[in-house]
Amino acid sequence: MPELPEVETVRRGLEPAMTGRRLTRVVARRPDLRFPLPDGFGQRLTGRRIKSVERRAKFLLLPLDNDDVLIAHLGMSGSFRLSPASFATEKHDHVIFCLDDGGEIHFNDPRRFGFMDLCPASDLAGHPMLAKLGPEPLSDAFDGAALAAGLKGKKTSIKAALLDQRVVAGVGNIYACEALFRAGLSPRRSAHTVQGGRAAKVAQAIKAVLGEAIRSGGSSLRDHIRPDGELGYFQHAFDVYGKTGQPCPGCDCADGIRQIVQSGRSTFYCPRRQR
């Protein structure tokens, strides 16, 4: 489900509602998501004040006033909903956060690929899910040189490499396809051949497409909804994702957008425009 722009949209939705608020009650309606919730999850959160709502790659990070950090990942189908938008408890509402201003936030995740954990702030960098993450794509630290360094020696395809969170953190299947289209590079190209100017072009394309998607509130395909219940609309701006057989927006080739499978994931591209 959510890639970096969707998670950032969620972060921006939660931030005004949660920052500075105290958690009066946290209910885990089942003991596990993808992994078991940490022992005493609800108790450890109850009474804590949320210092801020942050994001690293596709992870939401909520530092608390006891120096624990709540780590949350949306998996493929996770979403947060804020009161007062539709406040019955719904199917797959697995975790409920009650705030000291009367607000309520429900975490819903039908497929349960998401997870939550609590980690002392001092250990955060070493958390198993965060420790190996590569550069944040919208940061100044990420540029052509950084990407080229990450791709050096990689035998896999550039598409698969962009999904490797150690190379660049936060890109997923949609935006990998879209960025490669914008950069004019075939998703089948060997990752190690993307150096120099090509790497600069891909890095720039990643920044551009992620930035535009964030400004659109992310992409709402199946599961992504914003905390306020609104939909993102970047899906209308896709050039290739899900466009199998449709004309390529960049050239007049007859066959249109092709769909292939790489590392078990669908890839969409224009074989003529992307080399």
**Residues with a known catalytic role:** 2-3, 58, 265
163 scored as a contact of DNA (CB under 7 A): yes
CB atoms within 10 A of CB 97: 25
Can you say how many angstroms the Cα of residue 181 is from the centroid of all Cα atoms in its chain? 20
CA gap 173, 241 in Å, rounded: 9
β-strand 258-262 against 54-56: which pairing, if any? unpaired
**Within 40-79, which residues bind DNA (CB under 7 A)?**
57-58, 73, 75-77
Q: For residue 79, what are the CA distances in angstroms to 21, 31, 263? A: 20, 18, 26
Tokens at residue 71, please?
């780590």
Q: How far apart are CA 83 and CA 227, in angstroms?
A: 9
Give yes or no for residue 218 binding DNA (CB under 7 A): yes
Instruction: Tell me whether residue 51 or residue 149 sits nearer to DNA (CB atom).
Output: 149
Give the nearer residue to DNA in terms of CB position, either 102 or 264: 264
Q: How far is the CB of 46 from DNA (least distance, A)?
A: 27
- Nearest Cα neighbor of 79 from 270, 267, 228 is 228
Q: Residue 89 or 263: which CB sits closer to DNA?
A: 263
Site for DNA in 98-117 (CB under 7 A): 110-113
In the shown chain, the binding pattern of residues 164 to 203 toward DNA, with x for contact by CB under 7 A and - for none, equals: -x------xxx----------------x------------
> According to the binding rule CB under 7 A, does residue 265 interact with DNA?
yes
Which string of x and - marks every residue 4-43 that binds DNA (by CB under 7 A)? Answer: --x---------------------------x---------
The number of beta carbons lying within 10 Å of the beta carbon of residue 144 is: 18
> What is the sign of the dihedral through the CA atoms of 53, 59, 63 and 64?
positive
Give the containing element (helix H, strand E) for 71.
strand 68-73
Binding DNA (rule: CB under 7 A), the pick from 1, 37, 53, 116 is 1
Minimum CB–partner distance for residue 155 and DNA (Å): 4
In the complex, minimum distance from the CB of residue 177 to DNA, in angstroms, rounded to a whole number: 9
Q: How far, in Å, CA of 234 to CA of 180, rounded?
A: 17
Task: By CB under 7 A, name the binding residues for DNA.
Answer: 1-3, 6, 34, 57-58, 73, 75-77, 91-92, 110-113, 128-129, 154-157, 160, 163, 165, 172-174, 191, 218-224, 232, 263-266
